[in-house]
Amino acid sequence: MKTYQNEHVMVNVECGIHLLQQTWTGIPTSENFRDGSLAIMALAKRHLIKRWSINLQQLRMFNPVDIHWFIQQWLPQSNPGLPQQVRVAVILTDLNQFSKLGADMVIRASTSLNEQCSSRYFIDDNESRQWLLRNT
């Protein structure tokens, strides 16, 4: 079910399997990035998300200022209240994609706050879904 959308992100939540899927497109404005990030975290907390899919295949880039805000403010404030064992799949067009730089920074910051968080990069959405749904 589609639960949130703005010009640059669409978010779906599958409640029964605690899966949140976000798909980013274009070059998000700071307002869309921050509003989307806040909405995503509210949904993640409400639905006790344990599986997170971040599709960046249609993203052109994130603004470095927004990535800094995300790491310095959003992550530390949002981390409490989430399940400890979270899986994050990041889907790229290819593994050398420029947007991987921002994703790398976010993933490193996330795992420093939650050592039980596991993450992987994929270029295939079906493969990422299989990994997310695999029992741990």
Could you tell me if 121 and 129 are in contact, meaning their C-beta atoms sit under 8 angstroms apart? no
- The superfamily (CATH) of domain 2-133 is STAS domain (3.30.750.24)
Question: Tell me: the pLDDT tens digits for 25-34?
Answer: 999 999 999 9
Beta strands in 31-135 (DSSP E): 51-59, 87-91, 118-122
Residue 80 has pLDDT above 70, yes or no: no
**Per-residue confidence (pLDDT) for residue 131, from 0 to 100:** 95
pTM score above 0.85: yes
Domain boundaries, given as residue ranges, for the chain: 2-133
